[in-house]
Amino acid sequence: MARILLIGAGGQLGTDLRSVLPSDTLVPLTRADLDVTDLEAIEQILARHRPAWVLNTAAFHRVDDIEKDERGEAQLAFSVNAVAARHLAIACERRGARLLQLSTDYVFGGGPPGPYAEDASPAPLSVYGASKLAGELLVRQAGSRHVIVRSSGLYGVAGSAGKGGNFVETMLKLADAGKPIRVVDDQVLTPTYTADLARAIAGLIASNPPGGIYHLSNSGQCSWYEFARAIFALCRRTPELEPTTSAEFDAPARRPPQSVLRNTRAASLGVPLLPPWREALEAYLRVKKHRVD
């Protein structure tokens, strides 16, 4: 079988991809194994393993730190999210490999005509979103066979090392600490369980897809406040939870008020739609052994 090189194998999505991709053909690489900003290291890795596919889940996604840019985070975001993606795409093109680059709903600005199909025009509101869009454009420029997968609101069992966990676990920790919780109710998206996303990516690769952009997220939509409320209801928690607005919350980086993705291209190839977001949340909570109704 064709060899698959997985970059970011120790991350939230990478961990779930390792569980669904064939272990005998998978080469998992963590941050310690490969610095994605090092072009020479990329060339050496591809020459050694000669993969058919390279899956790049590595990203710098501390959205508010990137926006504040107090210690060069914006430059690092473009280095990891854009320049490194270009290096990978060019190296894959030279070696006859295909690149799957993970991207984000934050490339959109939240205005009409969302929910967004794959061909909708991006308009990022944040530096992070701009860095991911730059990565998309550079990957597409490097070769027509490469694949870009956009998703949204990721959470998984492994958690995100860069963010110290994920939204679900953060909400439960705040509830257990007895703290009042405010969550924005004017940002609508589809939270996506990385176990479901990993299975969909595996199915997409198996379909030998044409190059281009694919949206893969759980189905349905909710606000972050509605997501938090569902978490607490399923786990039988009753914290002091209040909705707030993006303006009142006043985060450094702007988020799109509406970034729901239409999953059309993958479905046309026979890749099953991902489950509804609430069903996915229930599955996650069971795996984590949180109390679920």
Q: Whole-angstrom Cα distance, residue 196 to residue 36?
A: 25
Q: Is 128 a catalytic residue?
A: yes
Centroid of chain to Cα 51:
23
Tokens of 89: 């795409």
User: For the whole prediction, is pTM greater than 0.95?
Assistant: yes
The catalytic residue among 106, 128, 193, 284 is: 128
The structure tokens listed for 167 are 């939204």
Instruction: State yes or no: cis peptide before 115, omega within 30 of 0.
Output: yes
Structural domains present in the chain: 4-287 (3.40.50.720)
Q: State which amino acid sits at residue 214.
A: Y
- pLDDT tens digit string along 220-273? 999 999 999 999 999 999 999 999 999 999 999 999 999 999 999 999 999 999
Which residues on adjacent β-strands are paired with residue 28?
6
Instruction: Report pLDDT digits (tens) over 199-224.
Output: 999 999 999 999 999 999 999 999 99
Per-residue tokens: 214: 């694919």
Q: How far is CA 162 from the centre of its chain?
A: 13
